[in-house]
């Protein structure tokens, strides 16, 4: 089960992911991101601080969202990696694929 919470902060759309980004949740996450991008949310920070689990389908969906933003000239960053999810991002090299910040505040300051 994945809950997505969108809020605007400092000219950015911050998407909080709460729960599990797995094979069940990934298609819905992609669809929701597409809708938001279509609605003009083209500067997006994904906040992972309350994400409990991520699978390969979840990682694929993040790439898809990042590419969709790239296609419309938008910007994309991730924030709040912690625990085993931080380990997964670090080991798989995903932490270096996208701008990555310790938390949303740091991301907002840096961007």
Partner 1 sequence: MSEIVGLPLSLVPVLAFLAALFFLESYRLVRFRAVLEAILAGALAAAACFLLARWLIGRGLVDAGVYARYAAPAIEETAKAVFVVVLIRREWVGFMVDAAIFGFAIGAGFALVENVYFLTAVENPSPLLWCVRGFGTAVMHGGATAIVGIVSKALSDLRQSQRLWVFLPGLGLAAATHAVFNQFVLPPLLETLVVMVAFPALIAVVFSRSEHLLQGWLEVGFGSDVELLEMIKSGELKDTKVGEYLLSLQSRFPREVLGDMLSYLQMRVELSLKAKAILIVQKAGMEPAKDPEIGDRFKELRYLERSLGVTGKLALSPFLHTSTRDLWQLHMLQENAAA
Residues that bind partner 1 (CB under 8 A): 22-23, 53-57, 59-60, 63-64, 67, 84, 87-88, 91-94, 96-97
| Number of other residues whose CB lies within 10 A of the CB of residue 103 | 16
Judged by CB, which is closer to partner 1: 64, or 111? 64
SS3 annotation, 74-104: CEEEEECCCHHHHHHHHHHCHHHHCCEECCH
21-31 burial by CB neighbour count: b if 16+ within 10 A, else e?
bbeebbeebbe
Give the shortest CB-13-to-partner 1 separation in angstroms.
22
Task: Tell me how far, at minimum, the Cβ of 88 lies from partner 1, in Å.
Answer: 6
Among residues 23 and 110, whose Cβ is nearest to partner 1?
Answer: 23
The minimum distance between CB 109 and partner 1, in angstroms, equals: 25
Closest CB to partner 1 among residues 10, 27: 27
């Amino acid at each position: 089960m994945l809950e997505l919470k969108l809020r605007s902060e400092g000219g950015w759309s911050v998407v909080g992911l709460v729960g599990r980004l797995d094979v069940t949740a990934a298609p819905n996450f992609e669809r929701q991101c597409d809708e938001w991008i279509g609605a003009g949310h083209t500067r997006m920070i994904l906040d992972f601080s309350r994400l409990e689990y991520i699978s390969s389908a979840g990682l694929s969906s993040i790439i898809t969202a990042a590419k969709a933003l790239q296609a419309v000239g938008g910007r994309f960053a991730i924030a709040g990696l912690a625990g085993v999810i931080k380990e997964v991002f670090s080991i798989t090299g995903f932490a270096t694929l996208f701008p990555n910040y310790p938390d949303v505040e740091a991301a907002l300051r840096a961007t």
